[in-house]
Amino acid sequence: MSDATATANTIEIAALPGLSIVEVAGKDAERFLQGQVSANLAHADGRYAPLGVFCTPKGRVIANVQVIRPEPERYWLLCDASIADTINAHLTKYGVFFKATLSVRDDLHIAGASGDSAQLQSALELTALPTLSGAMVAEPQRLAVAALGEQRWLIVSTTPIEATADQAHWWFEDIRAGFVWIGASQSDAWLPQMINWEALGGISFKKGCYTGQEVVARALYRGQVKKRLARFSAASDAIERDAAVIDSAKERSIGSVVAAQYYQGTTELLAVVSLSDEPRELYVNGVLLTEQPLPYAIERLDPETQVAALDNA
């Protein structure tokens, strides 16, 4: 077996055209974003890339992002590619009051990498890979952010990245990790808690105000969340994003699919559905769903805890 074949069997690098980056740069970039996103921008210090959401005044998610800070006065908002222009337009409305410029960075290359870290470091020409979820390593032409799940990294590069695998497995594992990127068709549909964002450390309840903050906080402290992101599997390749989830007993929709990926005979999907403690049969397009456990607890995870873990690592 050649070295190239051995490497291909132990690592996967997949181009991810479904992701994009909105850049906010300039002297006021941090102050500007601090008033718009649920993440505490102080945590985006070049070592950590916090999750965040942009909300409407009613607390509904416009888009969810991962905030990457490659340089002191430059922020990259990693997001679903279909919603990049929406984020850019939303922020442009407020950006005129700040010394900050906005753009969609179509020139950057985004990939998902998984497998043996030593071999990936060599293949990606990086001197190190971060080990804790959300931690990042930045080098002149390329940076890596540790993604949810085991041995998984998001790579952003100013130069092309050679892919070794199809992207289907990456999205499949994202769903198994209970993580979803909101697309344009789903904007303004849910509170952040409905996509389990506070359970992933994507909401700082200790930072200052941001658009929609009061509604988001009220939903936490008053327990007003009636729908949640849940994970399912199905033996079909006919399930797609935005499809209705039907409760057979009630004969009506109780939610919708947020993300779905078919891989090696199984579809993994995440759907926002009404909460219930009762057993139920759920279907999408006539296909029976099997509910699967999420790999995290549905409880508040403060991003400050994650930053402290990075400091103590």
pLDDT tens for 135-162 read 999 999 999 999 999 999 999 999 999 9
For range 30-54, the mean pLDDT:
96
User: In angstroms, rounded to a whole number, what is the distance separating the alpha carbons of residues 28 and 98?
Assistant: 6
pLDDT tens for 90-117 read 999 888 889 999 999 999 999 999 999 9
Structure tokens at 174: 């994202």
Structure tokens at 133: 């979820």
78 to 16, 49, 58, 121, 161: CA distances (angstroms): 12, 10, 23, 22, 17
Does residue 278 have a pLDDT over 90?
A: no
pLDDT classification of 9: cutoffs 50, 70, 90: low
Mean of the per-residue pLDDT values of the chain = 94
Q: Which of 244, 242, 245 is nearest to 260 (CA)?
A: 242
Q: In terms of C-beta density within 10 A (0-12 exposed, 13-18 middle, 19 or more buried), how is residue 3 classed?
A: exposed
Q: Is the pTM of this model over 0.85?
A: yes
Does residue 6 have a pLDDT over 70?
A: no
64: three-class secondary structure by DSSP: strand
**Cβ pair 203, 215 in contact under 8 A:** no
Q: DSSP E strands: which ranges in 81-214?
A: 101-104, 109-115, 136-138, 142-146, 152-157
What letter represents residue 124's amino acid?
L
User: In angstroms, rounded to a whole number, what is the distance separating the alpha carbons of residues 239 and 232?
Assistant: 11
* pLDDT score recorded for residue 137: 97
Q: What is the DSSP letter of 197?
A: T
For range 59-83, the mean pLDDT:
97
* pLDDT score recorded for residue 277: 81
Alpha helices in 177-302 (DSSP H): 213-221
For range 157-174, the mean pLDDT:
97
Q: In terms of C-beta density within 10 A (0-12 exposed, 13-18 middle, 19 or more buried), how is residue 93 classed?
A: exposed
Does residue 5 have a pLDDT over 80?
A: no
